[in-house]
Structure 1
Protein backbone atom coordinates (compact mmCIF):
# COMPACT_ATOMS: atom_id res chain seq x y z
CA UNK A 1 0.00 0.00 0.00
CA UNK A 2 1.40 3.37 -0.91
CA UNK A 3 1.60 6.29 1.44
CA UNK A 4 0.05 9.67 0.74
CA UNK A 5 3.43 11.08 -0.25
CA UNK A 6 3.60 8.58 -3.12
CA UNK A 7 0.32 9.66 -4.71
CA UNK A 8 0.41 12.76 -6.84
CA UNK A 9 -1.83 14.71 -9.14
CA UNK A 10 0.26 15.18 -12.26
CA UNK A 11 0.17 18.59 -13.90
CA UNK A 12 2.74 18.18 -16.69
CA UNK A 13 2.30 19.19 -20.32
CA UNK A 14 -1.21 18.48 -21.63
CA UNK A 15 -1.98 16.31 -18.60
CA UNK A 16 -5.61 16.64 -17.54
CA UNK A 17 -6.16 17.30 -13.83
CA UNK A 18 -9.88 17.21 -13.14
CA UNK A 19 -11.61 18.47 -10.02
CA UNK A 20 -12.81 14.95 -9.13
CA UNK A 21 -9.94 12.53 -9.78
CA UNK A 22 -10.56 8.82 -9.47
CA UNK A 23 -8.88 6.60 -6.92
CA UNK A 24 -5.35 5.97 -8.29
CA UNK A 25 -5.42 2.23 -7.47
CA UNK A 26 -3.64 0.29 -10.19
CA UNK A 27 -4.88 2.35 -13.15
CA UNK A 28 -1.35 3.02 -14.38
CA UNK A 29 -0.45 -0.66 -14.25
CA UNK A 30 -3.61 -1.55 -16.16
CA UNK A 31 -2.81 1.05 -18.82
CA UNK A 32 0.74 -0.27 -19.22
CA UNK A 33 -0.39 -3.88 -19.28
CA UNK A 34 -3.05 -3.26 -21.92
CA UNK A 35 -0.70 -1.18 -24.06
CA UNK A 36 1.90 -3.96 -23.99
CA UNK A 37 -0.75 -6.54 -24.84
CA UNK A 38 -1.51 -4.62 -28.01
CA UNK A 39 2.16 -4.02 -28.79
CA UNK A 40 1.69 -0.23 -28.79
CA UNK A 41 4.38 2.25 -27.89
CA UNK A 42 3.71 5.04 -25.37
CA UNK A 43 4.09 7.50 -28.23
CA UNK A 44 1.35 5.79 -30.27
CA UNK A 45 -1.11 5.69 -27.37
CA UNK A 46 -0.33 9.28 -26.41
CA UNK A 47 -0.88 10.43 -29.98
CA UNK A 48 -4.21 8.63 -30.29
CA UNK A 49 -5.51 9.78 -26.90
CA UNK A 50 -4.32 13.37 -27.05
CA UNK A 51 -2.21 13.00 -23.91
CA UNK A 52 1.44 13.94 -23.62
CA UNK A 53 3.98 11.10 -23.72
CA UNK A 54 5.63 12.15 -20.47
CA UNK A 55 2.22 12.26 -18.78
CA UNK A 56 1.43 8.73 -19.94
CA UNK A 57 4.83 7.48 -18.79
CA UNK A 58 4.19 9.12 -15.42
CA UNK A 59 0.87 7.29 -15.06
CA UNK A 60 2.52 3.98 -15.86
CA UNK A 61 5.46 4.42 -13.52
CA UNK A 62 3.84 5.48 -10.23
CA UNK A 63 0.42 5.83 -8.57
CA UNK A 64 -1.35 9.03 -9.60
CA UNK A 65 -4.87 10.39 -9.28
CA UNK A 66 -6.35 10.28 -12.78
CA UNK A 67 -9.35 12.24 -13.99
CA UNK A 68 -12.22 10.40 -15.63
CA UNK A 69 -11.82 12.42 -18.85
CA UNK A 70 -8.27 11.12 -19.21
CA UNK A 71 -9.34 7.53 -18.63
CA UNK A 72 -12.08 7.84 -21.25
CA UNK A 73 -9.59 9.22 -23.77
CA UNK A 74 -7.20 6.30 -23.12
CA UNK A 75 -9.80 3.53 -23.21
CA UNK A 76 -10.48 3.94 -26.94
CA UNK A 77 -6.87 3.74 -28.20
CA UNK A 78 -6.28 0.81 -25.84
CA UNK A 79 -9.32 -1.06 -27.16
CA UNK A 80 -10.76 -1.57 -23.70
CA UNK A 81 -13.36 -0.10 -21.36
CA UNK A 82 -13.27 2.56 -18.70
CA UNK A 83 -14.54 -0.10 -16.31
CA UNK A 84 -11.48 -2.26 -16.97
CA UNK A 85 -9.02 0.61 -16.50
CA UNK A 86 -10.76 1.56 -13.25
CA UNK A 87 -10.67 -2.03 -12.01
CA UNK A 88 -14.44 -2.10 -12.17
CA UNK A 89 -16.58 -4.95 -10.95
CA UNK A 90 -15.22 -5.28 -7.39
CA UNK A 91 -18.17 -7.51 -6.47
CA UNK A 92 -17.39 -9.98 -9.26
CA UNK A 93 -15.16 -13.04 -8.74
CA UNK A 94 -11.49 -12.44 -9.60
CA UNK A 95 -10.22 -13.52 -12.98
CA UNK A 96 -12.48 -11.37 -15.15
CA UNK A 97 -9.56 -9.67 -16.90
CA UNK A 98 -8.18 -10.97 -20.18
CA UNK A 99 -5.28 -13.41 -19.83
CA UNK A 100 -1.81 -12.12 -20.57
CA UNK A 101 -0.44 -12.47 -24.08
CA UNK A 102 2.42 -14.83 -23.21
CA UNK A 103 1.62 -16.57 -19.92
CA UNK A 104 4.10 -18.96 -18.35
CA UNK A 105 3.14 -21.42 -15.60
CA UNK A 106 5.82 -22.65 -13.22
CA UNK A 107 5.91 -24.88 -10.16
CA UNK A 108 6.87 -23.24 -6.88
CA UNK A 109 9.40 -24.82 -4.55
CA UNK A 110 8.18 -25.50 -0.97
CA UNK A 111 10.20 -22.60 0.43
CA UNK A 112 8.67 -20.31 -2.19
CA UNK A 113 5.20 -21.48 -1.21
CA UNK A 114 5.82 -20.64 2.44
CA UNK A 115 7.24 -17.25 1.46
CA UNK A 116 3.98 -16.49 -0.39
CA UNK A 117 1.88 -17.57 2.59
CA UNK A 118 3.99 -16.02 5.34
CA UNK A 119 2.28 -12.59 5.43
CA UNK A 120 -1.04 -14.29 6.27
CA UNK A 121 -4.44 -13.09 5.10
CA UNK A 122 -7.45 -15.02 3.86
CA UNK A 123 -7.29 -18.64 2.72
CA UNK A 124 -9.75 -21.47 2.23
CA UNK A 125 -10.11 -24.66 4.24
CA UNK A 126 -11.52 -27.65 2.35
CA UNK A 127 -12.92 -30.50 4.44
CA UNK A 128 -15.48 -33.28 4.40
CA UNK A 129 -18.70 -32.94 6.39
CA UNK A 130 -21.77 -35.19 6.79
CA UNK A 131 -23.48 -32.94 4.23
CA UNK A 132 -20.63 -33.29 1.75
CA UNK A 133 -17.42 -31.39 0.99
CA UNK A 134 -17.19 -27.78 2.17
CA UNK A 135 -14.77 -24.96 1.39
CA UNK A 136 -14.65 -22.13 3.93
CA UNK A 137 -12.73 -18.83 3.94
CA UNK A 138 -10.73 -18.11 7.10
CA UNK A 139 -8.21 -15.55 8.27
CA UNK A 140 -4.92 -17.32 8.79
CA UNK A 141 -1.28 -16.93 9.71
CA UNK A 142 1.53 -19.20 8.60
CA UNK A 143 4.20 -19.16 11.34
CA UNK A 144 7.12 -21.57 11.32
CA UNK A 145 5.91 -23.88 8.57
CA UNK A 146 2.37 -24.38 9.82
CA UNK A 147 -1.09 -22.88 9.23
CA UNK A 148 -3.09 -21.37 12.07
CA UNK A 149 -6.65 -20.02 12.07
CA UNK A 150 -9.36 -19.19 14.61
CA UNK A 151 -13.03 -20.06 14.58
CA UNK A 152 -15.96 -20.77 16.91
CA UNK A 153 -16.46 -24.13 18.60
CA UNK A 154 -19.74 -25.09 16.87
CA UNK A 155 -18.70 -23.89 13.41
CA UNK A 156 -18.03 -26.06 10.37
CA UNK A 157 -14.44 -24.81 10.29
CA UNK A 158 -13.96 -26.29 13.79
CA UNK A 159 -14.98 -29.76 12.59
CA UNK A 160 -11.68 -29.89 10.73
CA UNK A 161 -10.01 -30.83 14.03
CA UNK A 162 -8.71 -34.39 13.84
CA UNK A 163 -9.29 -34.58 10.09
CA UNK A 164 -7.07 -34.44 7.03
CA UNK A 165 -7.87 -31.19 5.26
CA UNK A 166 -6.67 -29.05 2.39
CA UNK A 167 -5.84 -25.36 2.74
CA UNK A 168 -5.52 -23.07 -0.28
CA UNK A 169 -4.26 -19.52 -0.71
CA UNK A 170 -3.99 -17.58 -3.94
CA UNK A 171 -3.43 -14.14 -5.38
CA UNK A 172 -4.48 -12.83 -8.78
CA UNK A 173 -3.04 -9.67 -10.26
CA UNK A 174 -5.79 -8.54 -12.62
CA UNK A 175 -3.71 -5.67 -13.96
CA UNK A 176 -0.77 -7.81 -15.06
CA UNK A 177 -2.58 -11.06 -15.75
CA UNK A 178 -0.35 -12.92 -13.29
CA UNK A 179 -0.99 -14.83 -10.10
CA UNK A 180 -0.08 -17.73 -7.87
CA UNK A 181 -1.74 -20.40 -5.75
CA UNK A 182 -0.49 -22.59 -2.90
CA UNK A 183 -2.09 -25.79 -1.60
CA UNK A 184 -1.33 -27.32 1.80
CA UNK A 185 -2.65 -30.71 2.88
CA UNK A 186 -2.30 -32.09 6.37
CA UNK A 187 -3.89 -33.01 9.67
CA UNK A 188 -5.78 -30.36 11.65
CA UNK A 189 -5.34 -30.09 15.43
CA UNK A 190 -6.89 -27.82 18.03
CA UNK A 191 -4.43 -25.82 20.09
CA UNK A 192 -4.99 -23.67 23.15
CA UNK A 193 -4.39 -19.95 23.18
CA UNK A 194 -1.53 -20.46 25.63
CA UNK A 195 0.17 -23.00 23.36
CA UNK A 196 -0.31 -20.78 20.32
CA UNK A 197 1.26 -17.83 22.14
CA UNK A 198 4.14 -19.98 23.44
CA UNK A 199 4.89 -21.56 20.07
CA UNK A 200 4.33 -18.67 17.70
CA UNK A 201 3.98 -15.43 19.70
CA UNK A 202 1.14 -12.93 19.78
CA UNK A 203 1.91 -11.53 16.32
CA UNK A 204 1.08 -14.90 14.76
CA UNK A 205 -2.43 -15.01 16.24
CA UNK A 206 -4.97 -14.55 13.40
CA UNK A 207 -7.48 -11.74 13.81
CA UNK A 208 -10.74 -12.84 12.12
CA UNK A 209 -12.45 -10.07 10.19
CA UNK A 210 -15.86 -11.52 10.96
CA UNK A 211 -15.45 -10.39 14.57
CA UNK A 212 -17.02 -11.97 17.61
CA UNK A 213 -15.51 -14.52 19.96
CA UNK A 214 -13.51 -17.07 18.02
CA UNK A 215 -11.63 -18.93 20.67
CA UNK A 216 -11.07 -22.22 18.84
CA UNK A 217 -7.60 -22.21 17.34
CA UNK A 218 -6.92 -24.78 14.64
CA UNK A 219 -3.45 -25.68 13.46
CA UNK A 220 -2.84 -27.53 10.20
CA UNK A 221 0.38 -29.51 10.25
CA UNK A 222 1.39 -29.77 6.60
CA UNK A 223 2.04 -33.17 5.11
CA UNK A 224 2.54 -31.68 1.67
CA UNK A 225 2.73 -28.22 0.15
CA UNK A 226 2.65 -27.39 -3.56
CA UNK A 227 2.21 -24.23 -5.56
CA UNK A 228 2.13 -22.75 -9.02
CA UNK A 229 2.71 -19.30 -10.44
CA UNK A 230 1.51 -17.73 -13.67
CA UNK A 231 3.51 -14.84 -15.01
CA UNK A 232 4.23 -13.21 -18.32
CA UNK A 233 7.54 -13.66 -20.07
CA UNK A 234 8.25 -9.97 -19.53
CA UNK A 235 7.80 -10.29 -15.74
CA UNK A 236 10.39 -11.72 -13.39
CA UNK A 237 9.09 -14.14 -10.73
CA UNK A 238 10.14 -11.79 -7.94
CA UNK A 239 7.85 -9.13 -9.37
CA UNK A 240 4.85 -11.32 -8.58
CA UNK A 241 5.57 -11.50 -4.86
CA UNK A 242 2.79 -10.14 -2.65
Structure 2
Protein backbone atom coordinates (compact mmCIF):
# COMPACT_ATOMS: atom_id res chain seq x y z
CA UNK A 1 0.00 0.00 0.00
CA UNK A 2 1.33 3.43 -0.90
CA UNK A 3 2.55 5.52 2.04
CA UNK A 4 2.37 9.31 2.03
CA UNK A 5 5.29 10.91 3.94
CA UNK A 6 4.25 13.36 6.68
CA UNK A 7 5.89 16.31 4.96
CA UNK A 8 4.11 15.51 1.68
CA UNK A 9 0.72 15.27 3.39
CA UNK A 10 1.35 18.60 5.10
CA UNK A 11 2.54 20.23 1.90
CA UNK A 12 -0.63 19.29 0.04
CA UNK A 13 -3.02 20.20 2.87
CA UNK A 14 -3.67 23.59 1.36
CA UNK A 15 -4.80 22.10 -1.95
CA UNK A 16 -7.27 19.60 -0.52
CA UNK A 17 -9.76 18.21 -3.04
CA UNK A 18 -11.97 15.95 -0.94
CA UNK A 19 -13.99 13.53 -3.04
CA UNK A 20 -17.12 11.53 -2.26
CA UNK A 21 -14.83 8.65 -1.31
CA UNK A 22 -13.00 10.88 1.14
CA UNK A 23 -16.20 12.20 2.69
CA UNK A 24 -17.65 8.72 3.09
CA UNK A 25 -14.45 7.29 4.49
CA UNK A 26 -14.12 10.10 7.05
CA UNK A 27 -17.79 9.93 8.09
CA UNK A 28 -17.70 6.17 8.62
CA UNK A 29 -14.35 6.25 10.44
CA UNK A 30 -15.54 8.99 12.79
CA UNK A 31 -18.83 7.17 13.42
CA UNK A 32 -16.83 4.14 14.57
CA UNK A 33 -14.66 6.32 16.79
CA UNK A 34 -11.44 5.43 14.96
CA UNK A 35 -8.52 7.80 14.50
CA UNK A 36 -6.74 7.90 11.17
CA UNK A 37 -3.76 6.20 12.78
CA UNK A 38 -5.92 3.39 14.19
CA UNK A 39 -7.61 2.74 10.86
CA UNK A 40 -4.26 2.83 9.11
CA UNK A 41 -2.76 0.24 11.44
CA UNK A 42 -5.71 -2.07 10.84
CA UNK A 43 -5.28 -1.73 7.08
CA UNK A 44 -1.49 -2.08 7.10
CA UNK A 45 -0.90 1.57 6.25
CA UNK A 46 -0.39 4.68 8.37
CA UNK A 47 -2.44 7.68 9.42
CA UNK A 48 -0.93 9.93 6.76
CA UNK A 49 -2.20 7.70 3.97
CA UNK A 50 -5.70 7.60 5.47
CA UNK A 51 -5.56 11.40 5.71
CA UNK A 52 -4.55 11.57 2.05
CA UNK A 53 -7.47 9.34 1.01
CA UNK A 54 -9.89 11.51 2.99
CA UNK A 55 -8.62 14.89 1.83
CA UNK A 56 -7.49 14.42 -1.77
CA UNK A 57 -8.65 13.05 -5.11
CA UNK A 58 -6.82 9.77 -4.64
CA UNK A 59 -7.12 6.63 -6.77
CA UNK A 60 -6.44 3.74 -4.41
CA UNK A 61 -6.17 0.21 -5.73
CA UNK A 62 -9.10 -2.16 -5.39
CA UNK A 63 -7.08 -4.10 -2.81
CA UNK A 64 -6.75 -0.98 -0.69
CA UNK A 65 -10.46 -0.23 -0.99
CA UNK A 66 -11.37 -3.77 0.02
CA UNK A 67 -9.15 -3.65 3.11
CA UNK A 68 -10.41 -0.22 4.18
CA UNK A 69 -14.06 -1.10 3.54
CA UNK A 70 -13.67 -4.37 5.45
CA UNK A 71 -12.22 -2.59 8.50
CA UNK A 72 -15.05 -0.03 8.36
CA UNK A 73 -17.71 -2.74 8.12
CA UNK A 74 -19.07 -1.62 4.75
CA UNK A 75 -18.83 -2.73 1.12
CA UNK A 76 -16.61 -1.14 -1.49
CA UNK A 77 -19.73 0.19 -3.24
CA UNK A 78 -20.88 1.74 0.03
CA UNK A 79 -17.47 3.33 0.56
CA UNK A 80 -17.18 4.76 -2.95
CA UNK A 81 -20.83 5.79 -3.23
CA UNK A 82 -21.48 3.51 -6.19
CA UNK A 83 -24.64 2.17 -4.54
CA UNK A 84 -25.96 5.45 -3.13
CA UNK A 85 -28.38 6.29 -5.94
CA UNK A 86 -29.00 2.77 -7.16
CA UNK A 87 -32.67 1.86 -7.47
CA UNK A 88 -33.03 -1.53 -5.88
CA UNK A 89 -35.39 -4.31 -6.81
CA UNK A 90 -35.18 -4.07 -10.59
CA UNK A 91 -33.23 -7.23 -11.25
CA UNK A 92 -34.96 -10.18 -12.91
CA UNK A 93 -36.47 -12.77 -10.59
CA UNK A 94 -34.69 -16.10 -10.40
CA UNK A 95 -36.33 -19.34 -11.37
CA UNK A 96 -38.05 -21.30 -8.64
CA UNK A 97 -38.19 -18.29 -6.34
CA UNK A 98 -40.40 -18.58 -3.28
CA UNK A 99 -41.25 -16.64 -0.13
CA UNK A 100 -40.12 -18.48 2.98
CA UNK A 101 -41.50 -17.45 6.40
CA UNK A 102 -38.90 -16.50 9.02
CA UNK A 103 -39.11 -17.64 12.61
CA UNK A 104 -39.67 -15.07 15.33
CA UNK A 105 -36.17 -15.54 16.78
CA UNK A 106 -34.55 -14.86 13.40
CA UNK A 107 -36.79 -11.84 12.85
CA UNK A 108 -35.73 -10.36 16.18
CA UNK A 109 -32.09 -11.01 15.35
CA UNK A 110 -32.51 -9.18 12.04
CA UNK A 111 -34.10 -6.20 13.78
CA UNK A 112 -30.82 -5.77 15.63
CA UNK A 113 -28.76 -5.56 12.43
CA UNK A 114 -30.21 -2.31 11.06
CA UNK A 115 -30.31 1.33 12.08
CA UNK A 116 -33.05 2.75 9.85
CA UNK A 117 -36.59 1.44 9.52
CA UNK A 118 -40.13 2.60 8.75
CA UNK A 119 -42.78 3.28 11.37
CA UNK A 120 -46.41 3.10 10.22
CA UNK A 121 -49.22 4.77 12.17
CA UNK A 122 -52.91 5.47 11.55
CA UNK A 123 -54.13 9.07 11.34
CA UNK A 124 -57.42 10.79 10.61
CA UNK A 125 -56.18 11.32 7.05
CA UNK A 126 -55.17 7.69 6.61
CA UNK A 127 -52.04 5.56 7.16
CA UNK A 128 -48.68 7.37 7.44
CA UNK A 129 -45.29 5.72 7.04
CA UNK A 130 -42.15 7.54 8.20
CA UNK A 131 -38.49 6.45 8.08
CA UNK A 132 -36.67 6.73 11.41
CA UNK A 133 -33.27 5.99 12.89
CA UNK A 134 -33.85 3.36 15.56
CA UNK A 135 -32.17 1.14 18.11
CA UNK A 136 -33.20 -1.95 20.01
CA UNK A 137 -33.87 -1.42 23.71
CA UNK A 138 -34.18 -4.99 24.91
CA UNK A 139 -37.08 -6.34 22.87
CA UNK A 140 -38.53 -2.87 22.22
CA UNK A 141 -37.86 -0.71 19.16
CA UNK A 142 -36.86 2.82 20.23
CA UNK A 143 -36.45 5.96 18.15
CA UNK A 144 -36.52 9.75 18.48
CA UNK A 145 -38.97 12.09 16.81
CA UNK A 146 -40.53 15.50 17.29
CA UNK A 147 -43.31 15.81 19.87
CA UNK A 148 -45.35 17.71 17.28
CA UNK A 149 -44.89 15.13 14.52
CA UNK A 150 -47.57 12.69 13.40
CA UNK A 151 -45.66 9.82 14.99
CA UNK A 152 -44.97 11.83 18.14
CA UNK A 153 -48.70 12.37 18.57
CA UNK A 154 -49.50 8.68 18.04
CA UNK A 155 -48.57 7.45 21.52
CA UNK A 156 -51.10 4.96 22.84
CA UNK A 157 -51.97 3.54 19.42
CA UNK A 158 -51.09 0.37 17.59
CA UNK A 159 -48.31 0.80 15.03
CA UNK A 160 -46.19 -1.21 12.65
CA UNK A 161 -42.43 -1.14 12.11
CA UNK A 162 -40.69 -2.59 9.05
CA UNK A 163 -37.12 -3.17 7.86
CA UNK A 164 -35.87 -4.99 4.79
CA UNK A 165 -32.80 -5.87 2.80
CA UNK A 166 -32.57 -6.28 -0.97
CA UNK A 167 -29.73 -7.84 -2.98
CA UNK A 168 -30.10 -7.11 -6.68
CA UNK A 169 -27.13 -9.30 -7.63
CA UNK A 170 -28.83 -12.46 -6.38
CA UNK A 171 -32.41 -11.14 -6.73
CA UNK A 172 -32.99 -12.01 -3.11
CA UNK A 173 -33.94 -10.26 0.09
CA UNK A 174 -35.94 -10.33 3.29
CA UNK A 175 -38.33 -8.19 5.28
CA UNK A 176 -39.39 -8.09 8.93
CA UNK A 177 -42.57 -6.55 10.34
CA UNK A 178 -43.17 -5.81 14.01
CA UNK A 179 -46.62 -4.78 15.25
CA UNK A 180 -47.41 -3.53 18.72
CA UNK A 181 -48.24 -0.68 21.06
CA UNK A 182 -46.50 2.66 20.50
CA UNK A 183 -45.80 4.85 23.50
CA UNK A 184 -43.70 7.79 24.57
CA UNK A 185 -40.81 7.10 26.94
CA UNK A 186 -41.10 9.07 30.19
CA UNK A 187 -39.12 7.05 32.74
CA UNK A 188 -35.97 9.10 33.59
CA UNK A 189 -33.76 6.01 33.93
CA UNK A 190 -34.89 4.62 30.60
CA UNK A 191 -34.42 8.00 28.92
CA UNK A 192 -30.93 8.28 30.37
CA UNK A 193 -30.05 4.82 29.07
CA UNK A 194 -31.40 5.56 25.59
CA UNK A 195 -29.55 8.88 25.34
CA UNK A 196 -26.24 7.36 26.41
CA UNK A 197 -26.44 4.26 24.21
CA UNK A 198 -27.87 5.80 21.01
CA UNK A 199 -25.41 5.28 18.20
CA UNK A 200 -26.44 8.32 16.19
CA UNK A 201 -28.66 11.37 16.16
CA UNK A 202 -31.76 11.36 13.91
CA UNK A 203 -30.67 12.00 10.33
CA UNK A 204 -33.65 14.30 9.82
CA UNK A 205 -32.15 16.80 12.26
CA UNK A 206 -34.15 19.48 14.02
CA UNK A 207 -35.77 19.22 17.43
CA UNK A 208 -36.25 15.46 17.68
CA UNK A 209 -35.75 14.68 21.33
CA UNK A 210 -38.97 12.78 22.08
CA UNK A 211 -38.16 9.11 22.56
CA UNK A 212 -40.82 6.65 21.43
CA UNK A 213 -40.84 2.89 21.71
CA UNK A 214 -42.82 0.16 20.06
CA UNK A 215 -43.35 -3.00 22.10
CA UNK A 216 -43.93 -5.79 19.56
CA UNK A 217 -46.69 -8.28 20.21
CA UNK A 218 -46.26 -9.85 16.78
CA UNK A 219 -43.03 -10.16 14.78
CA UNK A 220 -43.09 -11.81 11.37
CA UNK A 221 -40.81 -11.93 8.38
CA UNK A 222 -40.25 -13.46 4.96
CA UNK A 223 -37.24 -14.22 2.82
CA UNK A 224 -36.99 -14.68 -0.94
CA UNK A 225 -35.39 -18.10 -1.46
CA UNK A 226 -34.17 -19.79 -4.64
CA UNK A 227 -33.68 -23.36 -5.73
CA UNK A 228 -30.11 -22.97 -6.96
After TM superposition, is the score higher than 0.5? Answer: yes
Relative to 1, partners in 2 of residues 1:64 and 1:189: Cα closer, same or farther, differing over 3 Å? closer
Q: Distance in 1 between matches of 2:189 and 2:62?
A: 43
Q: Which moved more, 1:197-206 or 1:179-188?
A: 197-206
Q: Which residue in the other structure is 1:105 paired with?
A: 99
Distance 1:123 1:114 in 2: 14
Pick the aligned partner of 1:218 from 196, 212, 215: 212
Pair 92,114 (structure 1): closer, same or farther in 2 beyond 3 Å? same
CA distance in 2, matches of 1:141, 1:110: 18
Is the contact made by 1:141 and 1:204 (CA closer than 8 Å) also made in structure 2? yes
* Alignment-derived partner of residue 167 in structure 1: 161
Runs of 4+ in 1 over 6 A off after TM superposition: 19-24
User: TM-score, normalized by length of structure 1?
Assistant: 0.57
State the secondary structure of the residue aligned to 1:98: coil
CA contact (8 A) 1:124 1:168 kept: yes
1:134 paired residue number: 128
Aligned-partner SS, 1:202: helix
Contact 1:119 1:142 in 2 (8 A): no
**Per the alignment, do residues 64 and 114 of structure 1 end up closer, same or farther by CA in structure 2, a change over 3 Å counting?**
closer
Where structure 2 has 5 or more consecutive residues not aligned to the other structure, the ranges are 1-27, 29-38, 45-57, 64-74
Q: 1:160: Cα distance to partner? A: 2.2
Aligned length: 166
**CA distance in 1: counterparts of 2:126 and 2:149, whole angstroms:** 15
Query: Which residue is equivalent to 1:187?
Result: 181
Q: For 1:126, what is the secondary structure of its paired residue?
A: strand
CA deviations 1:39-61 (Å, max 9, x no partner) are xxxxxxxxxxxxxxxxxxxxxxx
- The whole-number CA distance in structure 2 between the counterparts of 1:178 and 1:137 is 22
Aligned partners of 1:120 and 1:142 also within 8 Å? no
Sort the Cα spacing of 1:204 and 1:109 in 2 relative to 1 into closer, same or farther, 3 A. farther
Q: CA RMSD in A?
A: 3.6
Gaps of at least 5 residues in structure 1 are: 7-18, 25-62, 66-86, 235-242
- Normalised to the residue count of structure 2, the TM-score between the two structures is 0.60
Whole-Å separation in 1 of the counterparts to 2:186 and 2:114: 20
Tell whether 2:129 aligns with 1:154. Answer: no
Residue 90 of structure 1 and its aligned partner are, at CA, apart by 4.8
Equivalent residue number for residue 224 of structure 2: 230
> Structure 1 residues 23, 102: CA separation in 2 closer, same or farther (over 3 Å shift)?
farther
